[in-house]
Each structure stands twice: as C-alpha cells, then as structure tokens.
Structure 1
C-alpha cells in the first residue's frame, strides 16, 4: 500500500507547529522514556498524525505507548506488554514511500485471446487525453480491455469470484496460432516497458500464462517486474461493468476494502489488528476462566469432601473474587479442613504399628512360670538364708559381738562372722538365679501392663476420631476394647492373664478391620479428589495469569478505543478530498436526477466496516441503494471508483473504462461525457463502448477525443480503424463509392446521394442538440423533437431554424446565409437518394462536404 503523497488532495499534512527535536522526548506522563517520546520525531506522515491525535485527546501515557508500539510492529507491542522497554522504530516507520513513477499506455497487442483471432494492435497516445474504442457487442473491443487488465493484474473481473464457466472460452475458437498479449507502456524518465502474457499450446486455464517483461527492448526475468506493478490492485486503473456493479453487489466490507487502501491507513489497520489479537487472547482467557469456573463449581458441588466444600467457599460466586491463596493451600494439602482429624487418625492408624500386647503377656506368663518353678527349690531357701545371714552380718557390723537375736543361745562374734561370710559365698549363685527370675517377672509384668494401656489409649483415640467417618468399623473396635480387663492393678495368676489374652484377640481383629476400612476410605477419598484437585490447580494457574493480565487487558481495550478514534478522525480528514471528487463527479452524472449524494462515509472496523452513501430524494434523506435506479447506481459506481483510479499517489496515469454507459439515460450520458473529458485533462482515459450515444455526446459537447472503431469479420478477424464523427464517416464512404469506377454511375448514384443526405442529417441533429442543451432543454424533449423530424429538410430546419415546422423557410435561409449552391446541394442529396440525379457525383460529394463544413 502507498499512502498519498504530501500535498495530495487526498491528505492534509499537519504542520510541525514549531516543536523541536527535544520537545519530542517530553513524555505525556513526564515519566521519562516512553514509546511515544521515542517515535514522535519520525518523518512518517501518518505516524506524526497519529501521535498528534493521541496527544490532542490527552490519551493516558501507558495507552499511548501501547498504540504506538502496535503501530511499530508485533515485537514492540509484545515487549511492552511483557514489561520491557519499547524499541525505537526504524526511521520511516511501517509506512510506505511514494514511488513517483508515472505509467502510460502505449499499445495493446492481442492474439488468440477471447474474441480476437489473428494479431491486432491498438496504438495509443501515452499522454493525457481521451480515446474511445467503439464497436458493436461481440466485435472484440472488450477483449482488448480484458487483455490489458489480465496482463497487469493476472486476473480479470470477467471471471473473478464467478463460476468456473466464466473462465472457459478465454482462448479464441478460430485461431490455431499462439495465444498471447503484450502491453506497451511508457514510464516517465525510464526506458519503454513491455509486459506480456504467453500461453503454451497445451494450456487449459488462463492462470497458466507465463509473464514476460522487457525494459528498453531487453528481456528481463519474469520474477523481477517493475516495482510499480505491485500497486496495481491498490489503485486499479480499470473500470468495467463488474467494477461499477460492486456498489450494488459487494458486501459492505468488500466495498470498504476496495476504497480504504488509497487513504494510506493500512498501518493503522495493522496496528488495530495487533491490538485486537492481543486483546482477544487475553479476553478469551477471561472467558475461558469464567466458563471453567462454572464447570469447576459444579464438579466440586457433586463431591462429598470437606475440601470440596471449602474450595466452593473460597471460589465464591464470582471468579474475580476467588481466594487463590486458600485454594492453593487446599490443593497442596496444607489447609486445615473439617475432616483433617479423621484423616490424620486414619493415616496414623495405618502407618503406626500397634504395640505387641500379646507378646508382652506371653513374656509375662513365661517369667511367672519360671518364677513358680523356682518357688519350691533350694534357690528360694538360699535366697532367704542369704538374706538372713546378710542382716545378721549388718547387725554385727553395727553393734559388735552379742548374743544371737534369733536363737538366743549362740553368739555373734568374729568366729561366727567368718563362718557366716563363708556360707553366703557358698549360697550366692543359687540366690542370684532366684533373684533374676523375680526381676524378670516384675519387668514383664510392668511392660505388659504398659503396652496394654498404651494400645488401649491409642486405639481409643482412633475410635473417637473415626467413629463419625467409619462408624461401623470404629464401633466394633470400641466394643472389643470395652471387653478387655482394665488392669488397674498388676495382673496376677494364670486366669487373669488368660482373660486378657482372650479379650485382646477380638481387639486385634477389629483393629485390622478398621485399618483396612480406613485404607480404603483414604484411597477412595484421594481418588475422588484427584481430578477436582487437578482441575482446581489448572484453574488457579489460569486465574493467576488472568489477574496478572487484567491491567494489560484494560489498557489494550483503551488503546483500541484511542486508536479507533484517531483513525476515524484521520480517515475523515483524508477521505474528505476523495468524497469531494466523488460528489463532483456525481453532480455531473446525475443531470436531471432528483437524487443528491451527501458526503459518502467509511465507518466501522473489523467485521463491521462499511461504506455509507447517504442521499436525499427531493430533500428526504435515505439510503442510496434503496432508491436509485440501475443507471443511477452505475453512475454512483463511476463516481466512487473513478477517484480511486485517479488518486494522485497512483503511479498509473491511465484509466481503462469498459462499457460505462449501461442503463444510463441520455442525460447521464452527457454527464459521463463531461466527466470523461475533465478526467482526460490530466489522465490518459481509454473507454470501450458499444453505445453510439457517448461519441455523439462528446462531439456535441466539444470534448476532444480519438475514436477507434472495432470491426469483426468472419473467424474472429478484428480490425481497428480511426473513426471521425458520423458526418465525416458518411462523407468518406460517399467519396470512396463515387470513385469506384467498376460500378455503373446509375448503380452508385442513389447510394452516394444517400451517404450525402445522412451526412447532412447528422450535422443537423448535432447542431440542434448542442443548441438546445446549451439552453437548458431537457434531454427527453430534445430527443422527442428529433424523433418527429423524418426527412432531410425537417432535420435541417431543426438544426438551422430550431423547428421542423419551418421547412418552408429552409431554402431562403440557405440561399441568404450560404448561397444558392447550398440549397441546390440539399435538393440534389434528397432527390438523388431516390434515384433522381441532378448533380454529377463528384460535384455532389464536394458540395456536400463544403456545406457540412459551413454548418459546423
């Protein structure tokens, strides 16, 4: 895309207003290095306009930064959104520079394409001016127009976006030779250019053409066409009936897209697209988060788990207010939940080993059995004797020699002491065995009681924690524990130990059942929680991203709003000159129409973009497409697309118009002639038409034009010959036939006289039309007056005396104004057409030409 050049009527560049380079670094926020501050000094006109608009609107600096970063490129925008510093754009920004090339058409050479068989060449003057190529339908004139379009655009509106049937018949049916098109072009200040399309003999589709390029007569690689050719679709210098119908048939966005490029706003559209893409990505994440929020609440609501209930509470009713910290703690398992004691108890119950109560009681029973076996043996007596002797020794140690306190007959003295100590030594081993058995029994008793009580306490805690969660298994264990003796005293006797052992067996079975039940409960609980927890984790992660992006999303939305506002203002400013041109064309084309066009508008963005044509009909505003006739709509299409083709920034200085007169009434044909004439003052205008009204209107209005006539003979032989106005053509034919000596004069005379009469009638009708139109006479009234004049004299009376009823005054007027020969010539032409020869043929032709010259 190429924006209009400075000074173009399509754009109004802003003045610098005295800002110097230092001023450009003065951020709107005053916070230092912003993107706006970096690029406002860029030489790009559009960028300067955008920056000025944003500043004038007092756009928030972060929003301005986003807009200008998006204008630069996607990387700068992403960097800014990621929190990085903006990057200074390359000088010139993303806008395009204007290529000053001026391209004119020199010739169109066609062979074997569409309605043209043998090679035919249309030579053109590569300069401003109007050229008409006229011929009946089917003569081959439109093939010349389509050939020009196909070479330059690699497509044709004839078959573009139409059924495949329209692509058939592109190769001429009567031509066995090569098929090709060559367009000669003149580019100001450069060597002549020739562009061609050549089809292999085996080609079955027009798309199989090979491009040929020649500069200054030298071939050039087909992949290196002139640079200005890239903008052929932007400024499209072709106007066919299909183009004009686009105002009626195109979708709103298509018509918008056909016009918007000439305003040079594509960088703004690209920036909006980048902003929209980033905004959509974030907005989609917000929407996805809301959708998954609803789904997650439903999933958690179906789960009988205190974690799910707490997650629902933390989620709340709005995703934006969810407590992400509490939710994360639930997922991580660090949050306190209502069922946490039961979970902890179940895990302890499964993970811990129950004290070996039965083993302890087995040890106790064994110790007691061993102690009982020693009770009646010498070991016990030895222990008692040893104890008694040791006490006596202690007494002797403290009180000295004395009578024995036990027998009262013996004496405790040194001799006795020696014998007592010797006895204690002899009995020591036997006594130690007895004492060890006693100690083992005491220790085993203590251990058994301790383990029993510890096991009871531990199991009691588990039962209390799990009786609501696992009531059946917990109740069974609780009942089993109740049957175990309390053992508030030390157990003694085989009967009591047996009772403990017997009561503990059901405890072990109930414990195993509770542990298994708790295991299944924990596994099932975790299995049920796994998917909701994973969903919750994903949602937490997504929510974190959305919350982190919330500020960026808000700024992106504000940036799009600011950019759209600036774009609308710039578009309106640049469009105004284009609209003025369109309205000027419409004013000329509308002629007697009561439809007035009011300031065409381009509105909307994205899928809502459209072009509006507000009109008024007798002062009442309405939509153009709703009230205009077919001819008016074609005129509107010409008013819309001709300014695009003639945009000052376009390198194409020519416009090719094919069949523009369709459905136009005679008054609009006159307006069309005026428009084409005015356009031809600065452009090379080539018009292909089958309608004689256009060349007639050009002659009558005095619009200079070169006219080529297209004639088609058998087997697609097409000829081009220069054509003057009808009177000249009739006179040329009369002179040629008068000189044809191979025919008798008697056979030639009526035909030659008929040509002379037709020349006089043609000039008379031109005179009448020119005079009456200049006086403001409605076109319909003029044509009705001409239709009522049937004879040569009636038509001369209209042309010379302004009324066909003044035929009686015609001869006197001719004699008095031009001489008697003029009246005689009129009589000779009128009578000669009916076979009466009054004047020699050469003289009749010469005098008729003289009279036509006088009448002009």
Structure 2
C-alpha cells in the first residue's frame, strides 16, 4: 500500500495537512515582501474538499459475467474467490479470457480502454459475439461492497445495435435498483482505476504519460497548485498586455493629434511624448472646461457610443426558436409523445410493483396481474417506448436551448439609462422584459419587434449625439473623447507596471515551491515504482531512477530517470518490449493501490507477454506482494506465470478458460496436479468394470505420472532453494531428464544422473521397488480391485514422502487460501 505524506514536520502525525495549508505555511515563513505575500493570498484558490459521503467501500469482485459479448456467446460466469489473494485466469489465445477482463471494465466504467483508441469501425462492428446473434448482450460484475461484504451487481445491457446504446444499473441481492454513484464514485474510479489492459502495457511511454501525469496530480491533491500557478501566470500576462496596449494606443493617438492644427492637440502630443506619457498634463488639458459642460459632454460621449441589439443575432435566435417550437409541436401530437407518456406510466407501475409486495393490479384490481412475467414485458416495453420518445425529448430540449439562446442576447437596461424617462429608456425596458417571457411564440414575436424598434431608437440617439459633439468642439472634441479613453488605458498600464515586479517574484517563488511539494508528495509513489521495477527487472542493465512530474495538468508529463549501464537514455529508446511492460506495471501499481482507493481488487490483462523468465519470476513475486491485501486477478495465455508461481511456492487460485465451437466458453478450477493424478488413478482402481488388460496397462502408467509430478514439484523447490538456480536454469535442468528414476534423483539429490535408489528407500521403504514396477507395468498383473487399490495407496504414500522431503528444504507454507490451489 502507498502512504503519501499527509503531515508537515511541525504538525502531529495524526493531523492531516492540506496542500493549501502547506503552501500558506511556507508563504508565512518566506522572506518575500508583504506586497508579494498579499498578492499570492489573494490569488490562492479556496480549499476543495472531496466529499466521499454516500460512497461505499471497500469493493471486491465476486464474479464477472458476459453473454453475447466479444468472444463469449452463451452466458458464462467467472466465479472469483473472495478476499485478498492472487487469481490467475489462464487460457489459450481466443479462449475468451480477455473478454472477461473487458467485460468487468465495461460494466463498471462504461468504456473499454483496449478498443477505444482503435479505429471506431472495428470496435462498433466487433463488440457483439458473432456466433450468438440471438443472445441479448450483457456484461456484469457482482461486487462485495463495504465492511459486511454486501453483494451488489452492476449490469450493463444493450437495447440497440450500437455499442453506446446501453444502460447500466446496479442491483441489490433482492433485485432492487440502487444508485451506482453511491457504490462506485466515478472520479475515484478514474483516478485509482483498478484495470490495466494489455493495450496500455506497451503504449505507456508514447501514449498515456500525459494522462498519467494528470491522474497523479489529482490523486496527490495538487490541482490547487496548478490552479494557483495558472492564476499567477495570468496576472503576469495581464501586466504585459496592459503595458503593450498602452504603448500601441499612445503611438496611434500621437499620430492622429499631430495632424490637427489646434494648440490643444500640440500640447497633447508633447504630453504623450517621451519614455513615459505625462498623464497629469493630459488630465489637466481635458479638465479645462466647466464641470457642467464636462458632465454634458460625458453624457453625449456615452450616447455617441451607444449600441443596441444585434439584429442579425436576434434574427438567428428567433428563427431557431420558431423552428424548435414547430418541431416540438409536431412531436407533441405524434406517436413519440404518446410513447413517452406511456413509458412514464409503465415505469410508475414498475416502481409500484417494487415497493408493494402484492402482485395485484391497483387499477383493475385483478389478482396476480403484476407478476414477474408482466414486469419483464413491461421493462422491455419501457425500453422500446423510451427509444421512440427520444424525438419528443430532443425537441423539447431544443426549445429550452433556443429559448435560452434568445434570452441570452437580450441585454438589460444600461445602468446610466435606468432612471431616464425617455422613449429610448422605455423601448429598452420593453426589450429587457422579453427575458421573462417563456412561451416560445410570444417570445419570438415580441423580441423581434422590440429589437427592431430599439435598434432604430439607438441609431437616432447615437447620430444625434455625434452631431451635437461635433457642433460643440469641431475636430478637437472627438480627439478629446479619445484622450479620455486613453487616460483609462494609461492608468491601468501604470498600475500594471507597479504590480509586475511583485507578480514576477510571486511566480518565481511559486515555481520552486510547487516543484518541492509535488516531489514530496510523489516520493512514496516513485519509491514504490522503483521497488516494483527492481523486482521485475532485477537482472536488467536498465535502471529506473527518479519518477517526477513536469508541467501542469493538460500540458504535463511524467519524466522517468532511466539509465543503461549508468548512462542516461530515453526510456522508449533503450527498453525492450518486456521492459516497457514492466515499466507500465511499475507506474500502474502505486496508483491503483493508493490507500485512498476503495477498490480492493486489480484486473491485469496479459502482463507476461514479451517478458523473459527472470521478469516473469519477478512479476510473480510482485503480484504475490500486492495480493497480500488486494484481490489480484491476472489474465494470461502464457503458462510461464503459472510455472513461476509453482516454482516460488506462491499460493494462487488458477482458473482455466476454454472455448468450444460457437463461442461456448467454460471455466474450471485447476486443482493440484498430484491430487488430480491420484484421484484419476483411484477412480480407475475402484471401477470393477475396467477390463483386466486395460487396468494392467493404464493404472501403473497413471501412478508413475503422479510420482513424476511430485518429483518435478520437489525438484523445482530443491533446485531453487538449495542450489539457488533461476527459473530458466531450473527448467533447463528438468528438460535434461526424461525417466522416472532420473526425476526421483533430481528431486531427492538435485542431480538426475545419480542413482537415487538409497535416497528413495530412505524416505519410503519399498519405494524403489514400486518405481521399478511402473516400468514393467505391462508385465505386472492386477487381478483384483484390492490389488489395484493397494497400488494407488502405495503410490500415494511415496508421493507424500517425496513432497515432504522437498518441504523440509523450503519455508513453512502459508495457510491455505479458501478455494485456492497452489
């Protein structure tokens, strides 16, 4: 489990400190000027508390079910053992095992990350099983939720031919519908996603590092830092823009003033010249008239710049509203509206049935009418009617959007005009009152008329004001108006220039603090990633060093410190495919096992491909560690993972998926191979109807097979623990022998070429004679059932002795996992 630092050095270990509090503490302890501190406090966003109220946890998987989905035809259930532990779902390519992994992800998230980045046509045409067109597609997971393990089923069904025409619902053990958001929080599912599909194993470097960066940023609670950094950057940009805008306006205005033959214009040019314009001189120049005249002039300037409604925009919004209203009227009188009403009626009836224990109809009073069969027909009818009602609902939504769009273009009465008692003010009030009209037809008509009338009035007032301004001061007055506007720009630029040094200091300080806090919070994840990498790639020349976050959400990336023989290199250019897969696991596991995650399970699809034997053995160790407190479900077609699990003595439940014709998929639990071999031999020995010649040939061969399996299991432990051989070396040593006596020598002596007779006799008297009898089985008669039972009994005793001899060399086995085998 990952435990990111949640406290500062000065706070108690049990008192969580937010990123905002840490930032304020560092700000208080800094040597920044007071102006910079005040600026940062003003820009600092408020705390964003993440509410987990109503969210259940922890969540584990009980089963995965699929029907008519991908490689699975008829409905098939993959039962999973409860609680923490390692589960290996094995099967050859095309057996349907990955379809179970995709089914679990799709049921919970509504998406299939393996396919969503491929061509849309491939996914949309291939998501249904081709061999079972009549099977209703369905994927579901049965979850164990909360401390009491309440069973909840999350089911996704399809009502159309398209992959997105689906519905997801959560059901309690009694079939009652529950709110999915109260069981699985969508944000948490996105941040601590417990699914790692094969498609992400190889594409982690070149495809999803930016997404991983953003996920880590949120998971570590660093969004506040990103938002503050963006606000400070915007403040810097605003200062730069204000200064640039003032220079452009000054240069433009100076050129226009120079063309006027007016002493005031020449005075203004002098005031605007130099390295910094003289705003005080410009202000005095503009204030040379009386206050009353200045007030009148200000009013005229305001009216000269008056603009009314945009008739083109209003016309477009009115047209859209009328068309939407006509469409809604057609839908209201059509079958779509009736379908919607009928669907609501049926849903009400279904809701009544869920709430009432009686199946009697409350309307007609007939007994037993609302039974299970009626409910199934009603649900199907509701889904059909809902599809038909889409047209009516879309039309009503379009009316609402169109009405809002028209309301949005209606501007309120300007503040300076609100107290006026003039035709213009009254026309503007009539225009503003249109925002309170909800009837589409009335709104369209009145808004259209009011806009035309107001636009004409604004034009008349504007032209009259411009004429009166021109009459007052001729050519100078328009320039005075422009100088007044320029003053506002110049004052804003002056304030921005005074503020800019503080903003720059704030940004420089913040960048350093952001990097420190980000690295501090990421450090436990980075260390865990390095631990996983070392376990997976112990013998690799590639070393994973630092794991850091660079940039901010949307523009960030995860940076990986990768070296090859102490030489720095880009990860994607020096890593093999197996190392890329190992890297993906190293980055995935710390995120998915974060202590805040409510998901007590991980689903990993096909992580073994492209890994060499050492990495497979490292993978088995990593999975075993994670499975101590997580339910780890691994899908693979590669038998090497199971071999590594056996080799290391790791306890795991192994489920085998097989696929027959027409996509008929079956799941079975793989039992202990020794027990399985003995059980099969015992069944033959007890069958009185097995012919004598068959029993004489088959039974010794089956017993020999049980002994050889026990020898192989013991040999793997001995060669690993006593001789220190790797998985590759162990398998090479095993492949060098092919006779039962050699297997026994390899198991008991570690060398298949030695004579194991005394070693066998030491652990089981008569054992060597039994092994020799296997090789002469065709000449050994087993005339009675008792003879056959005795052979199996002797074989079982020898097998136990061989396995016991290997157990002495190894650690004491962990307690057996319920329902699991090793």
TM-score by length of 2: 0.66
2:558 pairs with one of 611, 615, 619: 611
Match of 1:9 in 2: 3
What are the within-5 Å matches in structure 2 for residues 222-233 of structure 1? Answer: 224-226=181-183, 228-233=185-190
Alpha carbons of structure 1 residues 595 and 330: separation in structure 2 relative to 1, 3 Å: same
1:158 and 2:91 are equivalent in the alignment = no
Partner SS state of residue 677, structure 1: helix
The answer to whether the 8 A contact 1:315-1:323 is kept is yes
- Cα displacement (A) at 1:672: 0.9
Alpha carbons of structure 1 residues 58 and 800: separation in structure 2 relative to 1, 3 Å: same
The answer to whether the 8 A contact 1:196-1:211 is kept is yes
1:664 pairs with one of 589, 593, 611: 611
- Cα displacement (A) at 1:629: 1.7
1:264 and 2:218 are equivalent in the alignment = no
What are the within-5 Å matches in structure 2 for residues 181-330 of structure 1? Answer: 181-189=139-147, 192-205=150-163, 207-220=164-177, 224-226=181-183, 228-250=185-207, 252-289=209-246, 315-316=272-273, 321-325=276-280
The answer to whether the 8 A contact 1:54-1:566 is kept is no
Alpha carbons of structure 1 residues 838 and 553: separation in structure 2 relative to 1, 3 Å: farther
Partner SS state of residue 199, structure 1: strand
TM-superposition CA deviations, 1:161-188 (whole Å, max 9, x none): 3321234311112221222122222222
TM-superposition CA deviations, 1:7-45 (whole Å, max 9, x none): x72114126569xxxxxxxxxxxxxxxxxxxxxxx9863
1:95 and 2:49 are equivalent in the alignment = yes
Structure 1 stretch 717-726 or stretch 607-616: which is displaced more?
607-616
Partner SS state of residue 105, structure 1: strand
Q: Structure 2: how far apart are the matches of 1:216 and 1:705?
A: 28
1:814 pairs with one of 760, 781, 801: 760
What are the within-5 Å matches in structure 2 for residues 514-663 of structure 1? Answer: 540-605=487-552, 609-663=556-610
1:114 and 2:70 are equivalent in the alignment = yes
TM-superposition CA deviations, 1:802-840 (whole Å, max 9, x none): 22332xx03443234323245423651x566xx766667
Q: Structure 2: how far apart are the matches of 1:564 and 1:98?
A: 31
1:143 and 2:96 are equivalent in the alignment = no
Q: Structure 2: how far apart are the matches of 1:317 and 1:793?
A: 104
The answer to whether the 8 A contact 1:44-1:95 is kept is no
TM-superposition CA deviations, 1:659-686 (whole Å, max 9, x none): 1112111111111111111111111111
Partner SS state of residue 613, structure 1: strand
TM-score by length of 1: 0.63
- Cα displacement (A) at 1:194: 2.4
The answer to whether the 8 A contact 1:822-1:851 is kept is no
Alpha carbons of structure 1 residues 816 and 138: separation in structure 2 relative to 1, 3 Å: same
The answer to whether the 8 A contact 1:46-1:95 is kept is no
Match of 1:784 in 2: 732
TM-superposition CA deviations, 1:365-391 (whole Å, max 9, x none): xxxxxxxxxxxxxxxxxxxxxxxxxxx
The answer to whether the 8 A contact 1:211-1:222 is kept is no
Alpha carbons of structure 1 residues 726 and 308: separation in structure 2 relative to 1, 3 Å: farther
TM-superposition CA deviations, 1:100-130 (whole Å, max 9, x none): 8322222222222111112222222331111
Q: Structure 1: how far apart are the matches of 2:240 and 2:676?
A: 72
Alpha carbons of structure 1 residues 251 and 173: separation in structure 2 relative to 1, 3 Å: closer
User: Which segments of 5 or more consecutive residues in structure 2 lack a partner in the other structure?
Assistant: 290-469, 804-822
What are the within-5 Å matches in structure 2 for residues 430-829 of structure 1? Answer: 540-605=487-552, 609-732=556-679, 756-774=703-721, 775-806=723-754, 809-825=755-771, 828=774
What are the within-5 Å matches in structure 2 for residues 350-365 of structure 1? Answer: none
Q: Structure 2: how far apart are the matches of 1:306 and 1:287?
A: 28
The answer to whether the 8 A contact 1:825-1:847 is kept is no
Alpha carbons of structure 1 residues 569 and 845: separation in structure 2 relative to 1, 3 Å: same
Q: Structure 1: how far apart are the matches of 2:269 and 2:741?
A: 103
The answer to whether the 8 A contact 1:699-1:725 is kept is no
Structure 1 stretch 529-538 or stretch 130-139: which is displaced more?
529-538
Q: Structure 2: how far apart are the matches of 1:756 and 1:648?
A: 49
Q: Structure 2: how far apart are the matches of 1:848 and 1:794?
A: 17
The answer to whether the 8 A contact 1:159-1:167 is kept is no
The answer to whether the 8 A contact 1:193-1:213 is kept is no
Match of 2:820 in 1: none
1:51 and 2:24 are equivalent in the alignment = yes
- Cα displacement (A) at 1:723: 0.7
Partner SS state of residue 600, structure 1: strand
Match of 1:347 in 2: none
Q: Structure 2: how far apart are the matches of 1:295 and 1:780?
A: 80
Structure 1 stretch 558-567 or stretch 586-595: which is displaced more?
558-567
- Cα displacement (A) at 1:139: 1.1
Alpha carbons of structure 1 residues 259 and 45: separation in structure 2 relative to 1, 3 Å: closer
User: Which segments of 5 or more consecutive residues in structure 1 lack a partner in the other structure?
Assistant: 19-41, 74-92, 335-522
- Cα displacement (A) at 1:722: 0.9
1:172 pairs with one of 125, 129, 139: 129
The answer to whether the 8 A contact 2:90-2:657 is kept is yes
Q: Structure 2: how far apart are the matches of 1:309 and 1:329?
A: 14
The answer to whether the 8 A contact 2:563-2:569 is kept is yes
Partner SS state of residue 51, structure 1: helix
- Cα displacement (A) at 1:138: 1.2
Q: Structure 2: how far apart are the matches of 1:825 and 1:848?
A: 9
TM-superposition CA deviations, 1:498-528 (whole Å, max 9, x none): xxxxxxxxxxxxxxxxxxxxxxxxx9xx999
Alpha carbons of structure 1 residues 805 and 208: separation in structure 2 relative to 1, 3 Å: same
Q: Structure 2: how far apart are the matches of 1:220 and 1:658?
A: 30
Partner SS state of residue 546, structure 2: coil
The answer to whether the 8 A contact 1:150-1:156 is kept is yes
The answer to whether the 8 A contact 2:43-2:228 is kept is yes
TM-superposition CA deviations, 1:128-150 (whole Å, max 9, x none): 11111111111111111111111
Match of 2:344 in 1: none
- Cα displacement (A) at 1:607: 6.1
Alpha carbons of structure 1 residues 17 and 44: separation in structure 2 relative to 1, 3 Å: closer
The answer to whether the 8 A contact 2:157-2:168 is kept is no
- Cα displacement (A) at 1:794: 3.5
The answer to whether the 8 A contact 1:293-1:539 is kept is yes
Q: Structure 2: how far apart are the matches of 1:185 and 1:677?
A: 22
Alpha carbons of structure 1 residues 264 and 607: separation in structure 2 relative to 1, 3 Å: closer
Partner SS state of residue 599, structure 1: strand
Match of 1:67 in 2: 40
Alpha carbons of structure 1 residues 223 and 852: separation in structure 2 relative to 1, 3 Å: closer
Q: Structure 1: how far apart are the matches of 2:583 and 2:83?
A: 27
The answer to whether the 8 A contact 2:712-2:734 is kept is yes
In the alignment of these two chains, the number of paired residues is 610
Match of 1:134 in 2: 90
Q: Structure 1: how far apart are the matches of 2:486 and 2:539?
A: 69
